[in-house]
Structure 1
Amino acid sequence: MYIESKLIEVNETLFSRDLSGNKDLGIIKDEINIQSYSWLQAKCKIQFSKGLFIVETFIENKKNLTDIFSISGEYIQISYLGKGDSQLVSSKEKTPLGMGRINCCYNCDTVNTIEMPANKPTHYQAVYLSKEYYLELLKNEVWVADNSFYNHIIKGNFQKWGACNFPIDYSLYHILNEITKNDWNTDFKKYYLELRLKELFLSLHFCQEELCNGVVKGISEENLEKIRTAHAYLIENFKNPPTIKVLARKVLLNELQLKKDFKMMYGKTIRSFIIDLRMKKAKSLLGKHTVSEMAGILGYKSVPHFINTFKKCYGYTPKQGLNQ
């Protein structure tokens, strides 16, 4: 498997890696920064080994930007657009990449043109696996026998980009961040990474089963998709959440319908959901930051308010949590 990303307007190669070598050298990390243009900043963190490529990219462009993304060999792609308004361009049409959604793809020897409009910052995360790596990774997993995506791969039935996608949930968001950041201080990084990859595919399997269950009672199919989009948007932006009015505009629902259907689908109000996300993140920050820093990271303007919310959620303060 060979993978390359080239930014056309500046003739810069963001990354270019051959992952088909005979030797497995473990997990190799690299960071790429493009900052020599007044209108463009691109930051890319990659990790790779034989048959595996993981990338997280941030791009800020004041002019339109085109990325030619090339992959050779049979590959599995799991990608997530957290921010941006990028489009996949073909000879027939332009397809939005779909912010807030996980896209799964199985394909071979592709060259994709991705357009990123000016003044729309882009953040994407993606995992690419060769077919051999994917099958070896999941060969002992019992659940794959019932997974349609896995069975398509076994049979060699390509699943083009967009054929299989899900709104992101907090579990997927957390797992994908763990995989792309890979900041574990351990001698078993590759082993731990493979466990997280298995967890990612299992979580995607659960998402697929959930979508197959059909429309939630009392919510139209059209509104169901809009509520899932709102849910995904909040997961990405819970540190600085939009107002109900702004969120309703983003998903093209009136405010009352948004609040009603969100609670019906997820069993909690939008405000409660945001608090839950912040508190889950807060727990993961314990011991890594001061209480004041945690409050700032999570978007709280008042440290006492953050402490009180944390205590109401967990029954102890952040400081007491450090001693438990």
Structure 2
Amino acid sequence: MKNFGYTSVRDAGEAVRLAGRTPGAAFVAGGTDLLNLMKDGVTRPEHLIDVNRLDLARITENATGLRIGGLARMRGVSEHQAVTRGWPVISEALLASASPQVRNMASIGGNLLQRTRCGYFRDSASPCNKRVPGSGCPALEGWSRGHAVLGGSDACIAVHASDLAVALTALEAVLTVRGQAGERKIPIGDFYRRPGTTPHVENALRPGELITAVEVPRSQAARKSKYLKLRDRATFEFAVVSVAVAIDLRGRSVRDVRLAFGGIGTVPWRSREAENELRGRELSAETVARAGKALVRDAKPRHDNEFKVELVQRALAEVLEGLR
């Protein structure tokens, strides 16, 4: 591991000013992903800015929704009564993530910024367009079981890793970020970037910006929400396929619904096409089947991951059946 500088800060303004004037700086909170990337030689920050002492860990509820501080820990959010009561999909997604030890340490902001688990990206000896732009993508012709079937490009098909990001996409959350120019808000649907020709540009953060909070609107659909994660083992494993559903039902009629998926897309994948097949209709097996078909209509699977096309449709049907 290369040498790096370290500074612990007490104020968010100080944190972003330091990041802005320090080339190669990176924020660190729980460090559960960043430190592994550093050990593997995948990322080499020149300076770490420890933000753990900032007052950004509060979880508050008001008439319009939920506000989660960027430094709130995964465990604290998953167990918070306001979250489990009004936004259960968040709690379920967090409890399906990582291990209890990691959830005790990992911050919400860090979880949303975790890097892909693509083996080629994590192996510093392999070419990877995310890590070294223009070096190539071995997954295109190599082992691709864990890769995306939606949102990929000729430069990258790496799947997005965060369970929480999938849940927040279904809830239409908004991220608050702070940089040297001040504070701004980014809808989560605009935050993550598909790879296109620039897979190394993964999100809408500007250099030196820090996620300070996540705001989640209150809704009937959010109260009746659910997360299902299918994985190769029961714990401490990333999604093969995951489904987040927020739905407002009147009897069996769908008044409103929002669907997001993990394990299948290069970003947390929202399918408005599938939603449109459900909204305003009775939640029947036939309607659900049409929604599943709409979801995967543009899928581009490879030999190793073509099973995901069928699996995600079955997962969606299982979640919706459980919410009827």
TM-score by length of 2: 0.29
Decide which structure has greater strand share: 1
TM-score by length of 1: 0.29
Q: Greater relative contact order (Cα 8 A, min sep 6): structure 1 or 2? A: 2
Q: Which has the larger radius of gyration?
A: 1
